[in-house]
Amino acid sequence: HMRVYDLTHTISEDILVWPGTEQPRLSEGSAFERDGFRETRLELFSHVGTHMDAPAHMLAGAPWLDELPASAFCGEAWVLDARGCAPGGEIPAGAVEPAAGADFLLVCTGWDRFWNTPEYFGAYPVLSPAAVKRAVELGVRGIGLDTMGIDPMDAADFPRHHLMFERGLVIVENLRGLSQLAGRRFFFAALPLKYKNADGAPVRAVGIEN
């Protein structure tokens, strides 16, 4: 029996977005009463809700999501249980060692409990730069987090993003529900919307266990 965990926040007009980003707009395109069918017009920035960052997000000449193979978006994941890390704390490199052999390192801080509240923008725990480097050395092709970003909100030059992007790797941000999978390995997929020159895109992220 296959169990599928939805690790994705719902996009709505009042969703939390990075400061300065416009809120999504979901408006009526076609009306059932008038047209006999429904369609919704979606207007949203590419890094809204649970989403993936392409290396091209911050790096010239790096790949867009639509250039990456679909295999870059799925594989075996291991969830690091970082719920004991203090707010604003850094997760040390040693903590990522069990990710060896996994395609994705997912970091469970439990911060998703603050989703759609001002606290979500606070001092969430982050991987230390050394931990990001170590995860990459261990062979992960992506890192996913249940926070606003792989770097702190006030990071000046986004060093952790660059450690990933310089190697052509992807980042998934604003995951939810990792607490139920902490410490476990399973098949993970975060499939981004495939549009031209995608610097980032919303994903439907799932964990699948047999």
pLDDT in tens, 158-171: 999 999 999 999 99
Which residues on neighbouring strands pair with residue 204, listed in sequence order? 191
Low-confidence stretches of the chain (pLDDT < 70) are none
Are the C-beta atoms of residues 56 and 158 closer than 8 Å to each other?
no
Give the pLDDT confidence score for residue 132 in this predicted structure.
98
Give the pLDDT confidence score for residue 73 in this predicted structure.
98
Give the pLDDT confidence score for residue 159 in this predicted structure.
97
Q: Find the DSSP H helices in the chain.
A: 32-35, 129-137, 159-165
Backbone φ and ψ for 182, nearest 5 degrees, come out as -60, 135
Question: Which residue type is seen at 125?
Answer: P
Give the pLDDT confidence score for residue 111 in this predicted structure.
98
Give the pLDDT confidence score for residue 92 in this predicted structure.
98
